[in-house]
Structure 1
Amino acid sequence: MPALPKSSAEVADGPVANDYDSFAEAYTAETDANLINGYYARPAILNLAGDVAGRRILDAGCGSGPLFAALRDRGAVVTGFDSSAKMVELARQRLGADAALSVADLGSPLPFPDGAFDDVVASLVLHYLEDWAAPLAELRRVLRPGGRLIMSVNHPIVYKLFYPQADYFATVRFAEEYTFDGQKAVLAYWHRPLHAMTDAFTAAGFRTAVISEPPPAPGAHERFPDELGDRHAFLSFLFFVLEAV
């Protein structure tokens, strides 16, 4: 589990934040089948996506490709991109040379035509960005009308739990230090309140269809009894299904 968040000033004196190229292999080894990612974040996205057979899906921020693989196994036609070249390299090793993968940044125009996809999945991506306006507009652009953006971000209440004296209603940067498969890394996030998220969705042309705080996947209690105890749900991420209008 992560340490308590550090301030941005502390992070500036340590490892470069969000440098996934430098810890991609360690991150993949740690998160492929752990509780937070393997038994919580990815299963929740897949449950929200439902039957994806034949659907054209963009995996935005695909990392090393575990969600891409799961969607493809369910019959979707998947395209993926990530800003980390090393993550895309690992994804290609996982998915095969013919997988539709590219290096691209959600903060810039995406290399896909208008209306190219039925769904976009963006699992644990947008909370790295201060400004959501342009990225959400791009995701809306590449979706067909009626398409879905299925996404997750850090639950906004978690920041308040870490910093009880902080202003929940402010948009503010914070960071956490992690150890992935024995390698230390820093991830820096932008906290924003829930209303700021939903306002951004509406401004970009989305309708909020689902807000979810799901339980962990079946089998999690048997595999992680010490971490979960008798809890049937916990605060970590917040999940959305948004419809392009």
Structure 2
Amino acid sequence: MGGEARQQRCDEDLAEVVAELFVHDERVRGLDVTAQVDGGVVHLRGRVDRPDQLDTVRRLVGRLAGVHAVWDRVRVGGRDPVVLDLGCGDQRQYPTNIGVDRRRTPSVAAVADVGRPLPFRDGAVDRIFAVHVLEHLIDFLPLVAECHRVLRPGGVLHVLSPWWKHVNAVADPTHVRLLDTQTIKGICWGPERPAWHPLHVGRDESTVFADLTPAAPGDEPDPRHLARFFD
């Protein structure tokens, strides 16, 4: 069985497992949330009344074997999430995302250089996608700090980048950084920069995935939680 066919089978099986979770787990049973799976990424749709309900869904789904990341377009308390798609180029991850790029395309709503401060207020957005972006920046920590600034408490930064051992990481001459899951660990904590809690971190044979939420000052991560993701 080829790699793509195997991944499709895995996605189909994982979608069934997630659907069963919504039926049988009393913590999420009855919620108006559905899931699709593509390449190990679980895409949540629907609506919930409270943020903690979505947090519970994300936490339970993220524990399932084979899940690389959990992305969502879930309405919370009647409000659609505000989502930035950094460096989106010609294609946003979701059609309703706010595209941000230094080059004007039909997908771009805000023309801005992601290597400079983002043109958004503090705590203005719920989700940020940085898909195939960090590997193009010599120093991506200022952008990560900007994402921390503009995310609301409980918001999520979604990172997707080539894994350093795969040919895709070095085949593109515009890639100037190599990433691993341990790189995400370094992003989460460091002197004189904002901290992050990893909701989910993983990789497949070609890609590093991370879902990160801003940590409040003084927050201490759970060592058992970190052991799932990092050496």
Among 119, 124, 143, the alignment partner of 1:116 is 124
1:192-217: CA deviation from partner (whole Å, max 9, x where unpaired): 4432332122233211110133xxxx
Matches within 5 A, 1:1-245: 40=39, 44=41, 46=43, 48-53=70-75, 54-69=80-95, 72=96, 78-83=97-102, 85=103, 88-91=104-107, 101-158=109-166, 175-176=170-171, 186-203=173-190, 204-213=194-203, 235-245=205-215
Quote the offset at 1:51 in angstroms: 4.0
Structure 1 vs Structure 2 CA RMSD: 2.5
1:79-116: CA deviation from partner (whole Å, max 9, x where unpaired): 22012x2xx32426xxxxxxxx1221121001000000
Gaps of 5+ in 2: 1-37, 45-69, 216-231
Q: TM-score, normalised by structure 1?
A: 0.53
| Contact 2:162/2:179, CA 8 A, preserved across alignment | no
Q: For the residues of structure 2 that align with 1:109 and 1:45, how far apart are their CA atoms?
A: 30
1:199-242: CA deviation from partner (whole Å, max 9, x where unpaired): 122233211110133xxxxxxxxxxxxxxxxxxxx611111110
Q: For the residues of structure 2 that align with 1:115 and 1:152, how far apart are their CA atoms?
A: 22
Aligned to 1:167: none
Given the superposition, is the C-alpha separation of residues 192 and 141 from structure 1 closer, same or farther in structure 2, using an over 3 Å criterion? same
Quote the offset at 1:137 in angstroms: 0.4
Percent identity of the aligned residues? 26
Quote the offset at 1:143 in angstroms: 0.2
Q: How many residues align?
A: 146
Given the superposition, is the C-alpha separation of residues 64 and 121 from structure 1 closer, same or farther in structure 2, using an over 3 Å criterion? same
Quote the offset at 1:175 in angstroms: 4.2
1:145-194: CA deviation from partner (whole Å, max 9, x where unpaired): 111101101113326xx9xxxxxxxxxxx7425xxxxxxxx432311443
| Contact 2:101/2:110, CA 8 A, preserved across alignment | yes
Aligned to 2:67: none
Q: For the residues of structure 1 that align with 2:170 and 2:186, how far apart are their CA atoms?
A: 24
| Contact 1:45/1:150, CA 8 A, preserved across alignment | no
Q: TM-score, normalised by structure 2?
A: 0.56
Give the counterpart letter for 1:201 in structure 2: C
Given the superposition, is the C-alpha separation of residues 44 and 187 from structure 1 closer, same or farther in structure 2, using an over 3 Å criterion? farther
Q: Which has the higher helix share?
A: 1
Give the counterpart letter for 2:41 in structure 1: A
SS at match of 2:117: coil
